[in-house]
Structure 1
Amino acid sequence: MRNYFKYALGEIILVVLGILIALQVNNWNEDRKKLHEEKSIIEGLKSEFESAKKEIIADIEDRNKSIQVVISTLERHTGKNLTKIPQDSVKYFLDELMQYRFYTPSHPVLDDLQSSGRFNLIKSEELRFLIRDYIQTKERIKMPEEKERRFVLEQMAPFLSERIALGKLFESDQYELDREKLDHLMNDEFFGSLLYIRKNTIKSSQQYSRILLKNIETIQFELNKNLHD
């Protein structure tokens, strides 16, 4: 009986050890799977934020052009700049006055993290915080961008359409805007008010764009850091 109990005890110990080893191996496999999944997520985010950075930089550069045109036109209106707008630049000036843009980056990996609740696969608490902050700022920029769009479509474009044959101007290479009409437009007091508001709407969107660019660059730094840890 003594030998039997020793044998049975040995069998139990072996079974327990086998279970513990199997659990440990399973944990190792799970950890490896999570590490692989995290690396895949970070690589995907890195690619997405590279594209997002290009888009936000393009938005900032386009807004810089628009605001320079608005300021230049406003200076002509107020008499600070007495030079005439060259005929070959009229289209460019008017087009910039009616331009607006939206920040619409493609974020399939980030969207999946949000919808699936897998944010915790990213081990870095700092990176998770930065990404959530970026998401909030990305949502906030929609409001000034929408204000910009509505102002252009509801006020600036209708005002210009009533005073200038925009169809002829933009669709015909031969059409030239009458200089008297252009001078009258520059002296219109309501046009000056529109230019002032337009300048402020662009600046508001631009402020958020610059915040987003800074967020993106910080996230990129953290992504690279986590990818090489």
Structure 2
Amino acid sequence: MIKFFRKIRQRLVVENKFSKYLLYALGEIILVVIGILIALQINNQNELRKDHNSKLKIIEYLILDLEKDIHHFKVDGIRNQKSIDFINNFLQSGAIENSSDFISLIDERYKLYPNNSKYKSITSTNQIDLLDEVTLSKLTTYYEYDYIRLNARVKDSDNITIKIEEFIVNELPKHPTTNNDENFNAEVNTVLARDEVYNLFIMSSNYRKDLNELMKSTQKKAEQLVIELNQITKD
């Protein structure tokens, strides 16, 4: 195309048709400008497509992290509820049937294992600009507030569990070879009947209940975030 216009331009110069030469020269400039604009448009579209694909990939990893949280909240909530039930049964009856199982459950400590690697990644790089302000605000609230609050409650519950561990080590008889050892169960029940132990278990039950409620509310927020992030991928 350029060679074609060059030949025409050369012929017009030779024939001394200056006005037509200017017209063709202007036409060439317009074509070049149009070509540049088209190239820029294509480049912009490519960049937008890259950003969109990057955004979808980020959302995919964020959803994976949130789904891991949801799974852990469910599993840990069930396990924590078993401990609460064992403690409450003891507080109501004043005795336990199976000391080994009881001790194992009340001695169980909950650990928060944050699944926030992708969130940390996008907030430390320019990838954060790919997310809209509303979505980013909700993610920030979840990871910077809900996570911290849940972790603080975990530590409170953990402190009580540490005291129970110290009590188990120092006060309770050693575990028998079988869970159905009547003498062992009787000895344990005698120790557990003390007021300071009773109060310790009340505190443990209350902290575990609070922790479970907070895990449930945090789980709901994670589930809602998954719904909203999935919706973004469909828009």
**Unaligned stretches of 5+ in structure 2?**
1-17
Distance 1:92 1:34, change over 3 A: same
**What's 2:10 paired with?**
none
**What's 2:106 paired with?**
97
Counterpart selection for 1:195 from 182, 198, 201: 201
Q: Does 1:70 align with 2:87?
A: yes
* Mean Cα deviation higher: 187-196 or 102-111: 102-111
Distance 1:14 1:197, change over 3 A: same
One-letter code aligned to 1:75: Q
1:111-190 mapped onto 2 (5 Å cutoff): 111-123=120-132, 125-135=133-143, 136-153=145-162, 155-165=163-173, 168-169=174-175, 172-173=177-178, 176=181, 177-190=183-196
Q: Tell me how far 1:68 sits from its aligned partner.
A: 0.9
- What are the superposed Cα offsets for residues 173-228 of structure 1, whole Å, 9 maximum, x if unpaired? 38835354233223201011101111122122222211211011101211221222
Q: Relative contact order (alpha carbons < 8 A, sep ≥ 6): 1 or 2 greater?
A: 1
**What's 1:81 paired with?**
none
1:40-51 mapped onto 2 (5 Å cutoff): 40-51=57-68
One-letter code aligned to 2:69: A
Partners of 2:160 and 2:171 lie apart in 1 by 17
One-letter code aligned to 1:161: V
**What's 2:215 paired with?**
209
* Mean Cα deviation higher: 177-186 or 93-102: 177-186
Q: Tell whether the 8 Å contact from 1:147 to 1:201 is kept in structure 2 after alignment.
A: yes
Q: Percent identity?
A: 25
- What are the superposed Cα offsets for residues 100-119 of structure 1, whole Å, 9 maximum, x if unpaired? 11221434333321222422
TM-score of the pair, normalised by structure 2: 0.82
Q: Tell whether the 8 Å contact from 1:134 to 1:215 is kept in structure 2 after alignment.
A: yes
Partners of 1:4 and 1:66 lie apart in 2 by 93
One-letter code aligned to 2:96: I
Q: Tell whether the 8 Å contact from 2:80 to 2:212 is kept in structure 1 after alignment.
A: yes
* Mean Cα deviation higher: 188-197 or 47-56: 47-56
One-letter code aligned to 1:212: T
